[in-house]
Structure 1
Amino acid sequence: MASRILIVFLLVFGINGYAQINHPKASPLAIAEQEVGLSKISVKYSRPATKGREIFGGLVPYGRIWRVGANESTKITVDTDMTVMGNTLPKGTYALYAFPEASAWQIVFHKNISHWGDGRRNYDPKEDLFRVNVKPQNVHHHQENFLIAFDSITHNSTNMNLTWAKTQVIIPFIVDTHAQMEIEIAKQITENPKAQTYYEAARYLQEQEKDYERSLEYLNKALELGGDTYYFHRVKSLVEAKLGDYKSAIASAEKSLKIADELGKDEFVRMNQKNISAWKQVLKK
């Protein structure tokens, strides 16, 4: 009987003796994600606060490796190959480190993601994928918690901004979305050749100001398969105008306007009216 009580005591109090309290973290975990064209960047990091402290050159010493946050090392994942300031960043996950200085920072994309924090003595520069040099900037507002965010987003690029206290560094990313889109267009036209498929391919080319002749071919195919729609004719008019065929552009815009008016699409009516007027003025010159 005594042995049973001892076993129960060890199971209950022994295990609980090693348990940890689940408490709020001083530097809470965050994930920053951003789509760039057909690609995505994801950053998992912790967000320490200034709490009235001097940050860079103080809490974060100059010239020493920093984990770009707190707790675990910051991890960045890209789901396609990208370019960072002339360096190829292959698809995958990397530890993100920094060596801050007053006038310049080195940002490190590191292949070893197993280190806790900055890796301490286990950090090996030979395991860096590459480093880039960036200049810190002063910001007017005070950023209390360290923040990683994305801005200046296009189909082909974005800036990753690291901001804390009154300091910000900006790291530009570039992705070849057009190459991905050409593969996607070819795949969908082969496997799913519907009116909407041709229209979306044409609209992409028109928006990116690329290969207007092919865009027009796709739009004609979309109209052949899907019939008249105000948005097919709307994009067709824009492409024809870019090709310098203003008579055809006006005709297409008038078709788009008529259908849009019947459907109560006031915005498209106004846009078509504006373009028709502008293109008629071009023809008069």
Structure 2
Amino acid sequence: MLPTTRLTVLAMFISLYAIPGCRHKPPPQRELLPIPGSHAAVADRVIRPAFDKSPMDMIYYPVDYPVLKMSGKTSQQPIARVIYSRPEKNGRVIFGNVVKYSEHWRLGANEATEIEFFTDVSIQNKKIRKGRYILYCIPYPDKWTLILNDDLFVWGLRIHSSKDIYSFDVPASTTGDVYEAFTMQFEPGKEGMQLVMAWDNAKAVLPISF
């Protein structure tokens, strides 16, 4: 038999662990912090850019080409594609104010607008070879002068007019609706397609044959 003193100590030890709330709790674990200079530490300090106020968009002809391609209903290349950015009106008067008349305009924002033809086309009886071009504009109250240029990957209006290839005058009209964001879209045309461009209450249409 155990001595009385040892029995008393053992009983106290058992009762201590039997009473709720009296059990010994392990010390809280420390949160591991990134080691200075490690990838984790650098990632915590990354400054993420804000969303672009003039998001990039892409349009095709045929208009539903991406759906046809993804669904496997066509193996052909599109006829044309445009990559551009879409600035917004935001309560401003656009033409004659934000976009100056008689001055170069990139037909959008940020990087210069690009148009790519995947086959030879014709615009106002001028044959345009397939390939990628910059497309920019000189707007006037009654017309837009649209210009193809082969100086690719240009930011903004740093366009070298010495590399202009063709220019086309198309009528400018006033729309009944107001386009909040600058919009470009392809539509079927009489002899092929037409590129429609609209912003605020102004619109211009460029017919393209193929």
Same fold (TM over 0.5): yes
CA distance in 1, matches of 2:79, 2:188: 15
Q: CA RMSD in A?
A: 2.4
Matched residue, 2:163: 127
Larger Rg over CA atoms: 2
| Deviations, residues 203-229 of structure 1 (Å, cap 9, x unaligned) | xxxxxxxxxxxxxxxxxxxxxxxxxxx
Higher helix share: 1
| Deviations, residues 175-226 of structure 1 (Å, cap 9, x unaligned) | 0xxxxxxxxxxxxxxxxxxxxxxxxxxxxxxxxxxxxxxxxxxxxxxxxxxx
CA distance in 1, matches of 2:148, 2:123: 10
**How many Å apart are 1:39 and its aligned residue?**
4.9
Matched residue, 1:169: 204
The 3 A distance-change label for structure 1 pair 65 and 20 is farther
Question: Residue type matched to 2:62 in 1?
Answer: E
CA distance in 2, matches of 1:132, 1:114: 22
The 3 A distance-change label for structure 1 pair 65 and 15 is farther
CA distance in 1, matches of 2:100, 2:146: 15
CA distance in 2, matches of 1:38, 1:114: 22
User: 1:120-269 alignment to 2 at 5 Å?
Assistant: 123-153=159-189, 156-175=191-210
The one of 89, 103, 120 aligned to 1:81:
120
Higher relative contact order (CA 8 A, sep 6+): 2
SS in 1 for 2:116: strand
Q: Which contiguous aligned blocks of 4+ residues in structure 1 show a shift greater than 4 angstroms?
A: 10-17, 36-39
Higher strand share: 2
Matched residue, 1:101: 140
CA distance in 1, matches of 2:166, 2:49: 37
Matched residue, 1:31: 58
| Deviations, residues 45-92 of structure 1 (Å, cap 9, x unaligned) | 111110110101100111111110011111111100101112221111
Q: How many residues align?
A: 164
CA distance in 1, matches of 2:62, 2:179: 24
CA distance in 1, matches of 2:151, 2:44: 34
TM-score by length of 2: 0.70
Fraction of identical pairs, as percent:
26
**How many Å apart are 1:24 and its aligned residue?**
1.7
The 3 A distance-change label for structure 1 pair 39 and 15 is closer
